[in-house]
Structure 1
Amino acid sequence: MWLVLASSDRAKAWTEWDTYRVALLRCGSLFSAVRIPGYLVYTAAGAEEPEAVRRFLAEILDGGPIFYDVGGQQYYALTPASAARSWRLTVAECLDSDAFLGVPATDLTEFDPRYPAYWVVPMDGPGTLCAPDDVALLVLMGHQSAVKKAEADR
């Protein structure tokens, strides 16, 4: 798996994936990651049911890889490393070379209560990443929907 190249200790990353099903990888060289609060994804998708969210994300991100951190209730869309330099949306953070990210094993594609994260839309192949504009559209859709919902609830 090419993602292991983001680790300074590749053997350790493989061991982490085998043992814990999550490996700590450095952002900023092979990829960056946009951390998206779950509520933004759900409001953009108009659903919280996992299969509906999966279909929505696969479509809006054109099959780009995204995983879900169950404990943190955050989605992580993997983007090119260069995305961090131009990311300007404050409601979702783009992690760059200062950040390490717990990335699930690539075969962990369904929720399993034993593990902290899983791929909602798995990687299609080596180097496959989300287009930053697609991720920005997702974030903006979620934010606009959340604002409208908050206004309607007043």
Structure 2
Amino acid sequence: MTVHVAADRRLAVEHWLLSAHSCPSRAREEWQEHGIVLLPLGTLFSAVRIPGRLVSAAAETADPQETDAFLDEVLDGGPVICDAYGLRYYALVPSGVPVTWRAAAEDWRTQDVDCLGRGTYLGVPRPDVVDQPAYGAGSYWAVPMSSAAVLCAPLSVARLIAAGAHRAAGDVEELRSVSEGTSPGAW
């Protein structure tokens, strides 16, 4: 007997994601034709948009493959979509996060982080689009969704944002020190 666990999981993920759309069959056609579909947020899942500079700072690398591996590790396999063109990452989180994290989300706006929920749509690539497209265009799964309804833990996402903001601020301070000649390495 042949077991197709990976194929079954990918099919379950497809069905679950497409069930967020008002017309799942039309959404599936868009996926087949364009490789991406706009799905409404705030019902099955929401997303936290994190700028690439924060993710790169937290990962301490700008290499996309290393960054994706870092995200997989720190978010415990929680799904993340990368918009390679705009260099933004979207951590998929439970649908209530934009409401329950309203205060934190307001603080994060200074870092260009946003909690996206009801009233917004996200371009979601097909589950099999797991490699960065050529020339930095398009979206792909930086961390593929492992199973239907398995999302990022909000606390892990918050820690990622905090680490990225802290390291990015340190990099800015270090550059400022060097440019002002106050850094020991600048002598």
Where on the TM-score scale, by shorter chain, does this alignment land: which range?
over 0.9
Higher helix share: 2
| Cα deviation code 1:23-79 (max 9, x no counterpart) | 000000000000000000000000111221122101110000001001211000000
Stretches (4+) displaced over 4 A: none
Aligned counterparts, 1:127-142, within 5 A? 127-142=149-164
Percentage of matched positions with identical amino acids:
41
Say which is worse superposed, 87-96 or 137-146, in terms of deviation. Answer: 87-96
Aligned length: 154
| Cα deviation code 1:54-105 (max 9, x no counterpart) | 2210111000000100121100000000111122132310101110110111
In 2, distance between residues paired with 1:18 and 1:113? 19
Structure 2's unaligned 5+ residue stretches are 1-13, 177-187
Structure 1 residue 121 corresponds to structure 2 residue 135: no
Structure 1 residue 34 corresponds to structure 2 residue 43: no
Structure 1 residue 51 corresponds to structure 2 residue 73: no
Structure 1 residue 80 corresponds to structure 2 residue 102: no
Name the larger-Rg structure: 2
| Cα deviation code 1:115-136 (max 9, x no counterpart) | 6100011011010100011011
Structure 1 residue 60 corresponds to structure 2 residue 74: yes
Give 3-state SS (helix, strand or coil) of 2:147's partner: coil
C-alpha displacement of 1:113:
2.8
- RMSD over aligned CA atoms reads 1.2
TM-score with structure 2 setting the length: 0.79
In 2, distance between residues paired with 1:60 and 1:13? 31
In 2, distance between residues paired with 1:12 and 1:146? 42
- 2:53 maps to a residue whose letter is Y
TM-score with structure 1 setting the length: 0.96
